[in-house]
Chains A and B, each alone.
Chain A
């Protein structure tokens, strides 16, 4: 990633969560550009239209109109989006969801923290990870991010 800033996108229907998300990145000392979408349809419409694809995409699972799982499927089916690193960003960490998103090819699974400091820590960890290296060693054990 030789660009000056990291392009980050979040699709989440919850306004508060989008607020925490952008606020956390504002406080992090990382050069970034965050764009948020309030559902899957909005996200996919944007992704298909733009040439400036996000480096890192955070996907909430439970969204109206189009769920995170459906978005994940569509993204993985399109070669154009091959380079996007996908982080699942969900309230629950039910085994079923973790298993499903892992199989579908998501890179990491983040359970939304209940503390703002923790949120910052998690996000900075995800952003600073060398994904090319991490992806080669990806397995089910380290898929769910634990702090």
Chain B
């Protein structure tokens, strides 16, 4: 069983109290016994004194008696009579002292009898001595008899004294027996009490230390909370449900734009700060809070004294503890920044959406409306060529050819631009595809120009990879057609396609990649090549290294390549040497 520090303390205190009460009881009992035995001793002593007095008075009486017998002077009779009275008085006292003791009473009766007899002899001898001056024979007998009686009295007294002594001894023994252990016992209990008190003291001391440490921790924690409130722009509050009182933290006041503790913390005063439009809703929430003793997330605005509007968000949770009863602990956050950011993002999103709409509208215009007049121009030209060519002068035919090549170039530009704008990731889905198949498709698409140029394409086996198939196919088409386009006059174009797997860390270019492995696919041709200085420029949109009349091209093809590779989280680079060839290297990441 677990004993809490405070209940342990209570137990120690209770035991101590009990022990002290016990000590009191025992002490009272023993002091009572002690005073009783003292009383007995005192009585014995008094008895002894009275008995001694009797002997001494009897002796005085005898002395007076003898003096009278010798002198017949009545001066000796004075002490005799006094002694007699005193003896009588002593006997009365003795009588009162031995009321209870039967044995001693018997002894006392004997003594009384003997004393009476002695006084009878005294009286007799006085009668004889009245008329005769000299000692008669009868008087001598009486004197003799008196001595015997005196001896008997002495004996009686000594019997009584011996008995009383015995009684005293017995009593002493008894009280010794009773009192002998008392001091030890009392001392023991006292020590025990002291020990208990010491334990209690140590315990209290330790508890106090723990309490102080806890207090310090609490203080630190309080400071931290205050700091956290300031940093996080939040405030805390407590609703003591049983007493219906509130406590607001300093920063909660600051969130409202007020000085800490500048007003009584209650709902009425809080509502003064709440934005007019939000009072109703917040009021409903608070009513629910009072009813259900909980507060879900609730947002409202406050108007600070300087007129600034802040957005707050509050949440509270019920706790029940022993001391304070039921409490609702609440946190209120200033979410104004969040709110503003959210609004900003929303605006940006709307703007982006608008931009996207405009872009797709442009796409539509480019793909449909722009192509339509162009298509008609081209169709009409084809009609002129087929039907009216003979009717034209040579110049007219030349002009027609120029219009024809210009319009076909415009078509190419529009188509490439469309291709470029369609190459984005938003709608594409990645699926596992066989790259060899995609390369095959690309070659089929280009079969005419491959045949025209008599080109040779040598390829390694390519891997399977999660890609947007039509994009990768477009990439292959663009790269191969690029090589075919820029082939050297009089040299059979040879395009080598090599594949290898590389560790990302081994390639400087891939420093930023999060993947561990990359496929490295190299397209190498033996065409006209280019100056290495232009290696990165050739991927830029509308960037061309050659005049339009030398090589047909829109300057979009390689830009599309770059976009496709980047859509696949890869990297494409080019290197070239004039009149030797160009090499395009693609790195595509994969997971092993």
Binary contact track B253-288/A, C-beta < 8 Å → 1, others 0? 000000000000000000000000000000000000
Asked if B516 lies at the interface with its beta carbon under 8 angstroms from chain A, I say: no
Asked if B383 lies at the interface with its beta carbon under 8 angstroms from chain A, I say: yes
Which of chain B's residues have a CB closer than 8 A to the CB of A112?
375
Q: How far is the CA of A142 from the CA of B22 in the complex (A)?
A: 113
Given contacts A16-B376, A114-B411, contact A92 B382 (CB under 8 A): no
Given contacts A16-B376, A114-B375, A115-B379, contact A92 B368 (CB under 8 A): yes
The DSSP consensus for interface residues of chain B is: helix
Q: Which of B368, B375, B383 contacts A62 (CB 8 A)?
A: B368
Binary contact track A98-125/B, C-beta < 8 Å → 1, others 0? 0000000000000011111101000000
Q: Which of B367, B368, B383, B411 contacts A116 (CB 8 A)?
A: B383
Residues B386 and A117 in contact, CB atoms below 8 Å apart: yes
Residues B372 and A114 in contact, CB atoms below 8 Å apart: no
Q: How far is the CA of A147 from the CA of B371 in the complex (A)?
A: 19
Q: How far is the CA of A117 from the CA of B384 in the complex (A)?
A: 12
Asked if A20 lies at the interface with its beta carbon under 8 angstroms from chain B, I say: yes
Binary contact track B356-395/A, C-beta < 8 Å → 1, others 0? 0000000000011001101110110011001000000000
Q: Which of B367, B374, B383, B386 contacts A94 (CB 8 A)?
A: B367
Which of chain B's residues have a CB closer than 8 A to the CB of A20?
379
Which of chain B's residues have a CB closer than 8 A to the CB of A114?
374-375, 378-379, 382, 411
Q: How far is the CA of A20 from the CA of B411 in the complex (A)?
A: 20
Please count how many residues in chain B sit with their CB below 8 Å of the partner chain's CB atoms: 13
Which of chain A's residues have a CB closer than 8 A to the CB of B376?
16-17
Which of chain A's residues have a CB closer than 8 A to the CB of B371?
91-92
Q: How far is the CA of A14 from the CA of B383 in the complex (A)?
A: 18
Q: Which of A20, A94, A112, A116: most chain B Cβ within 10 A?
A: A116
Q: How far is the CA of A116 from the CA of B371 in the complex (A)?
A: 16
Question: A70 → chain B, closest Cβ, in Å?
Answer: 17
Residues A117 and B375 in contact, CB atoms below 8 Å apart: no
Residues A115 and B378 in contact, CB atoms below 8 Å apart: yes
Question: B73 → chain A, closest Cβ, in Å?
Answer: 173
Given contacts A91-B375, A112-B375, contact A117 B368 (CB under 8 A): no
Q: Which of A14, A94, A116, A117 contacts B372 (CB 8 A)?
A: A14
Question: B372 → chain A, closest Cβ, in Å?
Answer: 5
Q: How far is the CA of A92 from the CA of B414 in the complex (A)?
A: 12
Residues A115 and B368 in contact, CB atoms below 8 Å apart: no
Q: Which of A92, A94, A119 contacts B379 (CB 8 A)?
A: A119
Q: How far is the CA of A116 from the CA of B379 in the complex (A)?
A: 5
Q: How far is the CA of A112 from the CA of B386 in the complex (A)?
A: 19
Q: Which of A16, A91, A92, A114: most chain B Cβ within 10 A?
A: A114
Residues B382 and A115 in contact, CB atoms below 8 Å apart: yes
Q: How far is the CA of A114 from the CA of B378 in the complex (A)?
A: 6
Question: B392 → chain A, closest Cβ, in Å?
Answer: 17
Q: How far is the CA of A20 from the CA of B379 in the complex (A)?
A: 8
Question: A77 → chain B, closest Cβ, in Å?
Answer: 27
Closest B-chain residue to A118, C-beta based?
A: B382
Further 8 A-B residue pairs, CB within 8 A, beyond A114-B379, A117-B386: A91-B375, A112-B375, A113-B375, A113-B379, A114-B378, A114-B382, A115-B379, A116-B386
Interface residues of A (CB under 8 A from B): 14, 16-17, 20, 62, 91-92, 94, 112-117, 119
Ranked nearest first, the 10 interchain pairs of A and B with the lowest CB-CB distance are: A114-B378, A114-B375, A116-B382, A115-B382, A92-B368, A92-B367, A91-B372, A16-B376, A116-B383, A91-B368
26 contacts between A and B (CB under 8 A): A14-B372, A16-B379, A17-B376, A20-B379, A62-B368, A91-B367, A91-B368, A91-B372, A91-B375, A92-B368, A92-B371, A94-B367, A113-B375, A114-B375, A114-B378, A114-B379, A114-B382, A114-B411, A115-B378, A115-B379, A115-B382, A116-B379, A116-B382, A116-B383, A117-B382, A119-B379
